[in-house]
Amino acid sequence: MEINFNKNWHQRHYESLELGSRIADWVAKGMGSWRFIILQTVFVIVWMGLNLIGYIKHWDAYPFILLNLLFSTQAAYAAPIIMMAQNRQNERDRIQAQDDYATNKEAKLEIEALAAKLNAIEIEKLDKILKILENMQ
């Protein structure tokens, strides 16, 4: 597998997802939004209103058993889809944490090498200063 370094980690990960995973993430993102809550609330109000007013045929009279069935079905599908998206998010977080750890480890080694080099330069300068002082005496 060839790695494209022009793309960030998230873009490469998203491109590696299968269609089902992308759909599950899209559904979970949609259901976890204010837009979904507002639309669902409007739907419930309209459903109950049309069934209570009675100007049209009552297809789901009080206590709204059909509406309850719809919500139960929605919950039965939503819960596993949201859990799949959460599992993928946990996996993404774990992989990114490992990547961050490797980067930090490399940076630490580079910093230690630079510190050693600076220390060596400092010692070399001090030795030169001492030699100059000895020659002056």
Residues 17-31 have a mean pLDDT of 85
Give the model's pLDDT for residue 3.
54
Distance from C-alpha of 136 to C-alpha of 134, rounded to nearest angstrom = 5
Instruction: Decide if pLDDT at 112 tops 80.
Output: yes
Q: Would you list the domain boundaries of the chain?
A: 9-108
Q: Is the dihedral of CA 106, 112, 114, 120 positive or negative?
A: negative
Give the model's pLDDT for residue 10.
67
Instruction: Decide if pLDDT at 2 tops 60.
Output: no
Q: Beta strands of the chain (E only): which ranges? A: none
pLDDT tens track for 44-88: 999 888 888 876 677 887 788 999 999 999 999 999 988 988 888
Give the model's pLDDT for residue 113.
96
Any idea what DSSP says for residue 18? -
Give the model's pLDDT for residue 111.
97
Average pLDDT, the chain: 86
- The number of beta carbons lying within 10 Å of the beta carbon of residue 92 is 15
Q: Which of 111, 69, 88 is nearest to 29 (CA)?
A: 88
User: How many secondary structure helices (H) and strands (E) does the chain include?
Assistant: 4, 0
Give the model's pLDDT for residue 1.
47
Instruction: Decide if pLDDT at 35 tops 80.
Output: yes
